[in-house]
Every structure is written in structure tokens, then in C-alpha cells.
Structure 1
Amino acid sequence: MPVHRPGSARRALSALIGILATLLAVTFALPGSAFAAQGRGAKAIPHPEDDWAGSQILKHEGGSTTGAEPPGLLATVEGVDVSSHQGNVAWATLWSSGVRFAYVKATEGTSYTNPYFAQQYNGSYNVGMIRGAYHFALPDNSSGAAQANYFVDHGGGWSKDGKTLPGALDMEYNPYGATCYGLSASAMVNWVKDFSNTYKARTGRDPVIYTSTSWWKSCTGNSAAFGSINPLWIPRYGSSVGELPAGWGFHTIWQYTSSGATVGDHNKFNGAMDRLQALANG
């Protein structure tokens, strides 16, 4: 009859626990895993492919989205912004139509990267456009610093090559809940400062801020803290830019359509080509 040895059973159980612990550690360490994202304190993102610059502005503020260029614009440069919603973009066709700059969604939160980013970011550059990347902010998902670092690490950097715009921070209505992500106005201002300061420390450039006047008033208390630091990219779907958020005396980029069309949303740079090049060069 075999002799029961308690010590052997304990050793076997200890070995099994060790194996399970190793497997869990590997799973949490995998960069693309949901466990890795959650381990950094980030929340799951339900549908990042549906979140692009202006996707929530149109829902909350309305406006004309015919795609027609507003009348009376002088000394402006045509641009587009795109995300995974557009898939592979026909950049040569857009260049032929007069588009000279592009912003491409790179990231959202701290777990999503645009699967078409390389085609869109490099493709626009290769046809001659000045291009930049943008980050769709989720202030209730993780800190501003964490999202700035994730953005820079996944395509949102900057180089002084004359063809790369500073990264842009997309601040707009929450696609997943409360308009202001559950943050007070002062907390939202601090979140934006955290992102902006971290991005500046990583790249040497102040990020462009994309936001609407209405959202900015509601969620930052119409803070004037950024107007002298960050260029403004403003969405408004009408015949003029209209009222600007506090602190900004002028806009740098105007997004005048947001339809999610295959060619992306259209924008105007507020100045001539040499000023766009100056923004790229820093």
C-alpha cells in the first residue's frame, strides 16, 4: 500500500501555484492585452473606431455638413483629418484636389492605436503634405501624463523636418457617458495641463488643442489658461468660426466639416502656406 506523504502534496500544490502565477504575469505583461491596459489603471474603450475629431461635436452642436467651403476665406490652406473610419486613404487624389496638410488620429486613452495609422500618416507625407497626429482624450480613463506618453510612444511625436505638425489633443464630448467625463472644471483644466506639459517635455512642442467653444465653456469653465501657449484647432460647421474659447485671440485651424466621409473631415489653416510651414518647424 502506498504511503501518503503530506510534504509531497504540498510541494506539488506549490509548484502548480507557481506555474499559474507565471502565466498570469505573462498575460498582464503582454502590451496589447486587455489585462495590460487595465493593469495601468485604464478603462476599456468600447468603440474607439467611432471616435474621431468632431464625431461628438456634430451630435451635440449640429451645423451644416455639406462639405462646401465657407465663402470669403482668404490666405488659407486646405487640410483634412482622418482616423480608422476612413481606412486606407487615397492621398494622391486628395493632393490633386488641393489638400496640403493632414491630421491623423494616432491614439485614444492608453490602449488604442489606429490600425491604419502608418498608411495615413506616412501616405500623406509621401505625397508632399505637412502632417501631424492627434490623440482622442478620455480624461476619465487615465491621467493626462499617461495619455501624453502613450500618444508620443505610438506616433504622436514631433521632428523638425518641416513636414511634421505638433501633435494635437482632441478635447470633446464624452462618447461613453457624462459630457465632462465626471470631472469638475478645475480638474479638467489640470488634466489638460498635465497632458500639455508632458507632451512639451517629451517633444519640445506645445500640443495643438482641438475643442469647441461650447464644450470648453461647459467643461473647463471657459479657462483662459491655454490661449497664449497652445494653438487652437476649432470645429464649427457653419459659415464662420464664430466665438472662440477664452484666452485665444485667433484660431490656427478651423474644421468646417465633420461627416465621417471617406475623404475625411475638411479644415482650413488660418494663414498662408509659409505660416503652416513655420508651425511645423516650431
Structure 2
Amino acid sequence: MRPLAIGAALAACAALVLTTPATAAPVDDHAMGSQIAKHEGRGDQRVVLDTDPSTRAATVPGIDVSSHQGNVDWGHWWGQGKRFAYVKATEGTGYRNPYFAQQYNGSYQVGMIRGAYHFALPDKSSGAAQADFFVDNGGGWSRDGRTLPGALDMEYNPYGNTCYGLSKAGMVGWVRSFSDRYHARTGRWPVIYTSTSWWDQCAAGDFSSTNPLWVARYASSVGTLPHNWGYHTFWQYSSSPIDQNSFNGAYDRLQALANG
């Protein structure tokens, strides 16, 4: 091949490389608390809870994971004292965590009590439709003593308007639609995960008589709880080095929640 021809071929290849778009990040792939941390800050990520049984109420440590953790070393986290885990299963009606099986089954096999969670996109489809998608893709419940009720992740819109363009009444209706359909499908009320700031701004509805509360606050205390909940069931208090949570009760109470 002549030198000029070789140069032209190389230039063409370079142009092809430069104009080929980069691989896009997966859509609908948001971890629990990612938008809360973005809007409210992560606080002091060095938070260490008091573990002295003589000075604190009984709690159980746990973690939550999503596709961002990939294949999780569950033996490591068991060795760190974590005894429960929540695993992201779905988002909206179009995203399924590709690592769900390894994460959900792996946590169970190492001995943890586990559950699944759904990242809500209330402006995309109805609450009932998203509850069905969640249950159909890993978010169900079984009375095996080791499976927690599914959790509904309600937080800031990753794509725009904080409250997804819904009024407070509209948001409450959406959550109720999800909750009622999940209950009809599984016999359990879903845990509601949220922050006090987002919930009071966007929903402020009363689910305290049916749905356990999982509150996100990255600080050394749980702080003020969302609208009308008198106590929390779970508390996400840090995202370093992984999302860390505390169950508000002794281990036998966590087992009771799993057993329904």
C-alpha cells in the first residue's frame, strides 16, 4: 500500500474512533439514598454508632446494596457484624438490577435476613403498576423467617422536579396505590424509605398505622421523623464505605418483622 493510502486509512480510523459515542451509563440505576445525599448532603460519613449494650437500646446492624456494588463479598460483611441486607430489585417499570440474584441469594446464604427494594419513579407509571413490576422481579415475600417485606424507596427525582410534578395529595395517592397493590399481592405492607425533608415537602401523608418507616439521615442521631410516624423501624445513617443501616430493635424483633 502506498504511504499516502496508509495515511488516509489511519486518518479514517482515527475519525471513526473520535466520532463513536461513549457507552452510556445505565438508565434507571439509582441507589437508595443517592438523591437524598445529593440534595441534603452526606453529613459526617465517619459516624460510628454506640455499640455498648449498657448505654444504648438494642439494635441490629445491616446494609443495603444495588448494582453499584456488583458481586458482593457477603462473608466479609457478615464478619463485620451485619445481620440483615436490603437489595435493589427494580426501578420504575423498566429497570432490573443485573446483580440481584447474587446479592439477594448471597446475603441469605451467608445467614442474613434479607429483603428487596424498589426505587420509585412516580411520574412514569402508576403505583400499582410499579408494585406489580417489583413483585414480579424479586420483590415478593415468603414466610420463611428470613425474608423482610419489600421496601419502597421514595426520594428526590433524579431527572428533574423534586416531587415528580405531583401535588402532595397526588403523591400520597401514588404511594397508597403502590402500598395497597403490594399488600394485595404479598399480604405485607411495604416498608417506606424516605427522608424527613423530602417526605414533608412532597407527600406528608399518614402511613404510620400500616407501613414501617425507614428513615435516611446521615448523622449521629435519627432526628425528627417524617409526618406522623412515632418511631422508625430502620435508619440509614451512613453511605461509607457502603450504605449502613440500623434496625430499631433486638434481633428477635427483626425476625418477627420477617415472619409477619
Given candidates 158, 163, 187, the residue that maps to 1:175 is 158
- Mapped to 2, the partners of 1:115 and 1:270 lie a distance apart of 30
* Native 8 Å contact 1:69 1:256 kept in 2: no
Letter in 1 for 2:34: S
Instruction: Give how far 1:170 is off.
Output: 0.1
* Native 8 Å contact 1:166 1:206 kept in 2: yes
Structure-1 residue corresponding to 2:244 = 266
Q: Which runs of 5+ in 1 are unaligned?
A: 1-44
Structure-2 residue corresponding to 1:47 = 27
* Native 8 Å contact 1:256 1:267 kept in 2: yes
Structure-1 residue corresponding to 2:237 = 256
Instruction: Give how far 1:257 is off.
Output: 0.7
Structure-2 residue corresponding to 1:277 = 255
Structure-1 residue corresponding to 2:113 = 130
Q: State which structure, 1 or 2, has the greater radius of gyration over its C-alpha atoms.
A: 1
Check 1:46–1:180 CA distance in 2 against 1; reply closer, same or farther (3 A cut). Answer: farther
Identity, in percent, stands at 69
Check 1:275–1:230 CA distance in 2 against 1; reply closer, same or farther (3 A cut). Answer: same
* Native 8 Å contact 2:62 2:83 kept in 1: yes
- Mapped to 2, the partners of 1:200 and 1:179 lie a distance apart of 27
Is the counterpart of residue 56 in structure 1 residue 52 in structure 2? no
Equivalent pairs, count? 232
- Mapped to 2, the partners of 1:73 and 1:66 lie a distance apart of 21
- Mapped to 1, the partners of 2:156 and 2:46 lie a distance apart of 22
Runs of 4 or more, structure 1, over 4 Å off, are: none
Given candidates 103, 110, 126, the residue that maps to 1:143 is 126
- Mapped to 2, the partners of 1:78 and 1:48 lie a distance apart of 28
Counterparts of 1:97-246 in structure 2, within 5 Å, are: 97-220=80-203, 222-223=204-205, 225-246=206-227
Check 1:140–1:231 CA distance in 2 against 1; reply closer, same or farther (3 A cut). Answer: same
CA root-mean-square deviation: 1.3
TM-score by length of 2: 0.87
Instruction: Give how far 1:74 is off.
Output: 2.9
Instruction: Give how far 1:247 is off.
Output: 1.9
Instruction: Give how far 1:210 is off.
Output: 0.1
Instruction: Give how far 1:62 is off.
Output: 1.2
Structure-2 residue corresponding to 1:69 = 48
SS in 2 for 1:78: strand
Q: Which runs of 5+ in 2 are unaligned?
A: 1-24
- Mapped to 2, the partners of 1:150 and 1:159 lie a distance apart of 17
* Native 8 Å contact 1:70 1:238 kept in 2: no
Letter in 2 for 1:163: R
* Native 8 Å contact 2:47 2:220 kept in 1: no
- Mapped to 1, the partners of 2:207 and 2:137 lie a distance apart of 25
Instruction: Give how far 1:239 is off.
Output: 1.1
Instruction: Give how far 1:258 is off.
Output: 2.2
